[in-house]
Structure 1
Amino acid sequence: MPDHVHQSHPEITARLKRANGHLSKVIAMLEGQEPCVDIAQQLFAVEKAITNAKRILIHDHIDHCLSTEFNNGNSNTEDFKTITKYL
């Protein structure tokens, strides 16, 4: 069990559940031969929800994990470089 709590994880989970709902809708729309414009709109919603969830996760990691390490004199630039490649 991790020794730290990420307060952002419930929000991220909620965003990803919404993205999952949008993705299920996209699959149903494709199977139902719905208009491509409508499908593209739903795919955009999926993409946006995942992008926002990822952004929140990375910012949370930088704010809480890396800044704590830095403030404790444990500068971990490699971890910072690794997490920022996902932005």
Structure 2
Amino acid sequence: MTNSNEQEIRAIANRLKRAQGQLASVIASVESGGDCRSVVTQLSAVSGAIDKAGFAIIAKAMQDCLANGDKSDKDAPTVAELEKLFLSLS
């Protein structure tokens, strides 16, 4: 794994950890009867963070497929599978 690859994975993991913290805050707000506008705003932020992480994961897979060309392993996602994953996030 290259240093750049490690940094990309770390950045995605950090984004997901921040979303996890935001989600914990949303849950606490719901349980404490928080203002619905605030809860929805927080939930929207969590959703956006998760979507961005998903797009980053798919983009990384696309980069790997392009970099590996025909050398990619047999379990690597196909372009069609990546497209389907990408569209599932939109």
Provide the TM-score with structure 1 as the length reference.
0.80
| Displacement of 1:74 | 5.0
1: CA distance, partners of 2:29 / 2:46: 14
Q: How many residues matched?
A: 80
1: CA distance, partners of 2:45 / 2:60: 22
Deviations 1:49-85 (A, max 9, x none): 001111111111111x210232xx4588x61111221
* Residue 41 (structure 2) pairs with residue 31 (structure 1): no
| Displacement of 1:38 | 0.3
Cross-structure match for 2:12:
12
* Residue 44 (structure 2) pairs with residue 58 (structure 1): no
Unmatched segments (≥5 aa) in structure 1: none
| Displacement of 1:44 | 0.5
Unmatched segments (≥5 aa) in structure 2: none
Which protein is richer in helix relative to its size? 2
Cross-structure match for 2:68:
69
1: CA distance, partners of 2:58 / 2:28: 31
Amino acid at match of 1:39: V
What SS does structure 1 have at the residue aligned with 2:15?
helix
Structure with higher RCO (Cα < 8 A, 6+ apart): 1
Amino acid at match of 1:66: C
Percent same amino acid among aligned pairs? 29
2: CA distance, partners of 1:54 / 1:62: 12
